[in-house]
Every structure is written in structure tokens, then in C-alpha cells.
């Protein structure tokens, strides 16, 4: 901005200065309201954390169960000579396999 415009701009800002001053003391009820909101949000956060931990533990338990079942089935099937499809056919037709 040139000097004159610069001065005008600063004059305008100077004129508006009082409206930029912040408050030094919170308005009536503000602190109480903020504390209440803070309390609610803290409780919510704790609840979310609890739910999160429970969900995590439940997922881990499900994973362990699934792994155990898979491994035990695999162990049980280890002695078979046939693929699962062939074995079911053999059982269905009652074919004697020596």
C-alpha cells in the first residue's frame, strides 16, 4: 500500500481497536458450563476407552479360539490319505480302502 492508503488502513484498524479487546473475566455461568462439559467429556472418554479395551480383548479371544479350532482340526486330519473332497466321496459310496 502506498503511504496514504497505509495510513487510512491503520486509521480504520485504530478506530475498530476497542472491539478487538478480549474479556478478562469469563461471563456468568461460563466456568460452571465448561466444567460440566469437561466432566461429561471425561466420562465419555473413559467409557470409550473401556469399550475399546473390551472390544480388543473380545477380538483377541475370538482369534485364539479360531486358531485353536483350526490347529486341532488340522491335527486330527493329519493321518488321512485323501483330500477332503475325495474322502467325503469315499465315505458316501462306502468304498473299502485297504
Partner 1 sequence: MDEAIDVNGCLQRWKKGDESAAEELIRHLYPVISKIVRTHLPRRDDEKDLVQEILMKTFSRLHQYKGDAPITHWVSRLALTTCLDRLRAQKIRPEVRRSDLTPEESDVFDAAWLTGSSPDAGDAIAARDLVDKILSSLSPEDRSLILMVDLEGRSLQEISETTGWSISKIKMRLFRVRPQLRQMIHKLEERK
CB of 28 to partner 1, least distance (A): 11
Binding status of residue 43 toward partner 1 by CB under 8 A: no
Cα 40 to the chain's mean position, in Å? 19
Q: Which residues contact 26 (CB under 8 A, 6 or more apart)?
A: 34
- C-alpha–C-alpha distance, residues 67 and 74, integer Å: 10
Tell me the closest approach of the beta carbon of residue 77 to partner 1, in angstroms: 52
- Contact between 11 and partner 1 by CB under 8 A: the answer reads yes
Residues that bind partner 1 (CB under 8 A): 1, 5, 8-27, 30-31, 33-35, 37-39, 41, 45
Amino acid at each position: 500500500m502506498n503511504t496514504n492508503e497505509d495510513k487510512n488502513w491503520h486509521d480504520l484498524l485504530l478506530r475498530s481497536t476497542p472491539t478487538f479487546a478480549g474479556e478478562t473475566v469469563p461471563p456468568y455461568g461460563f466456568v460452571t458450563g465448561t466444567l460440566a462439559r469437561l466432566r461429561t467429556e471425561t466420562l465419555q472418554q473413559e467409557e470409550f476407552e473401556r469399550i475399546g479395551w473390551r472390544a480388543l480383548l473380545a477380538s483377541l479371544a475370538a482369534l485364539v479360539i479360531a486358531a485353536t479350532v483350526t490347529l486341532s482340526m488340522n491335527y486330527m486330519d493329519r493321518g488321512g490319505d485323501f483330500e477332503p473332497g475325495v474322502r467325503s466321496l469315499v465315505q458316501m459310496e462306502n468304498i473299502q480302502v485297504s
